[in-house]
Structure 1
């Protein structure tokens, strides 16, 4: 076992069991979300799925804030920022992810989304002049090689929908805009308050597209119990409890250690999709996942060493 791995395990041995359970719980919920979306799509279209998910999630989060006495009103000077935040996520993020997931597998979607921290580091370097480490550059190169391994075969022939891949990267880039905007709000409000408000505002952003594209079809559709259950699971576990659990764990573990766990989401998604949806997990995809996850770990070596 490498010195880095031993150092990480030693640092983890000093944190509470509750924090580890919180981070693992959030990771499992987010991994399952890529599978639940596919189940929801058996009856619902993308915008309908997101809209119902946001309505349930924002209601649950506001209820949580009220019951815990942690509800905070958004200050007038922050209205534009919270609106911009909601535009990036959930609106643009889910526009990219939801339509993208109609065209690519749950596993590939999870792998592409897992590269968000790498793009965040790159954009912070390019536009904010934040320092970038050699480990981060190496990690990016390794991860992109892994994504390439999953989507190309037989001499660079795409084995996945190009449009689907592009839409998934719209979600990735939307998160970069979200992260840059979030930096201006994060010190003023708790994470749960921010997520509750952004999800609530997102409802009104999706409503016009729901009535324009999907309302008539939804009214005529036969909706299965499995699809309804999947949307409820997305709202309760992926859009609500996962964020609450992650926030609790983040306070104890720190950003770098938390991201180490999140790096494993594509692995769990691949297993869940194979188990529950009979998704094909061949040798090439498995190798691609291993390469991507390895790159994500390499990119964070310096941060883990700093927090250890």
Structure 2
């Protein structure tokens, strides 16, 4: 493996590491603040920090009028739609369940490619999709196979999954012309404005009445710095160099990180069934990434031509 590829893979793993922590930090932040309040503070802090850094180091690029629609669409999918699903979903399900559902993202990417670009799915894609959903079932169902996770929470987390696919498709288009600092700065800015009216209607009054909570606010600051800034910088770098499918594949490791973090930080109980489900999900996702090997071509015995 080349050193350059190691950098791209390392960036993807770091992004997943920071995003995995976000599932835990959300739970800590919810001890004092409601979901949209958490997200709005997180995005506002991330916007201020990113614009300050990008301006200071000369990385903030000019965006032509024709690309504004893509920046707004990017922000609609993520952070707006994604956070609507993830943050509200975490009110109803545990961080582990949420992370396992989010880990199905690499399976839906080929489905989107088939729908939009008519790319055929291989047997491995179909088999991996089926196996992964079986693993999700083991995680969200209890021992009697009743729903141990809230159906509402599961649906909201799958909304986050679908929004991430739309985000990745648009992000790949924008990375050809813009650096990560520019994309993430405007992504957080537009996302803040999208959340603002909903927050004003549903949570503003309660937010102003809520006393300051140091631990919960500290979790929001960590979400802003590590998840909304560093996580997206590393992921943007990865998707620019590895592409959508290879970068999304690293989402497979998120459930593993979240299980470890939840166990040590939130004292969340992990039983054998959940561990089995996580293993099955990850196995299914890796199965879906398999490609049929093409037969090797016979060596060319002709003398190669050299052109100047």
Q: TM-score by structure 2 length?
A: 0.87
- The answer on whether the counterparts of 1:256 and 1:304 sit within 8 Å (CA) in structure 2 is no
Whose radius of gyration is greater, 1 or 2?
2
How big is the shift at 1:88? Answer: 1.6
> Where in structure 2 are the equivalents of 1:14-163 lying within 5 Å?
14-15=3-4, 21-154=10-143, 156-163=145-152
Q: Match of 1:179?
A: 168
Which residue, out of 199, 205, 221, partners 1:210? 199
* CA drift at 1:63: 2.6
- The Cα shift of 1:17 comes to 6.3
Q: 1:248 to 1:173 in 2, by over 3 A?
A: closer
Any idea what the Cα deviations from partners look like across 1:134-189, whole Å, max 9, x if unmatched?
A: 22222111111100111123554111100111111111122233234334433222
Residue of structure 1 equivalent to 2:228:
239
* CA drift at 1:59: 2.1
> For 1:299 and 1:153, how far apart are their aligned partners in 2?
26
Alignment of 1:251-262 (within 5 A): 258-262=247-251
Distance 2:97 2:11 in 1: 25
Give the equivalent residue in structure 2 for 1:263.
Answer: 252
Rate the CA distance shift 1:135–1:16 in 2: closer, same or farther, 3 A: closer
Match of 1:295 among 284, 295, 299: 284
| Structure-2 residue corresponding to 1:169 | 158
C-alpha distance in 1 between matches for 2:117 and 2:250: 26
| CA distances 1:98-145 after superposition (whole Å, capped 9, x unpaired) | 111100000111111111121121122123212322222221111111
Contact 1:57 1:240 in 2 (8 A): yes
CA RMSD of aligned residues (A): 2.4
Moved more, 96-105 or 23-32: 23-32
1:279 aligns with 2:268: yes
TM-score between the two structures when normalised by the length of structure 1: 0.87
Deviation at 1:231, TM superposition (A): 0.3
**Residue in 1 that maps onto 2:208:** 219
Contact 1:55 1:203 in 2 (8 A): yes
For structure 2, the residue ranges without an aligned partner over 5 or more in a row are: 295-308
2:99 and 2:255 in contact (8 A); partners too: yes
Summarize the Cα distance change of 1:303–1:263 in structure 2 as closer, same or farther, 3 Å threshold.
farther
1:192-207 maps to which residues of 2 (within 5 A)? 192-207=181-196
Distance 1:257 1:123, change over 3 A: closer
Aligned residues: 294
Cα distance in 2 for residues equivalent to 1:102 and 1:31: 16
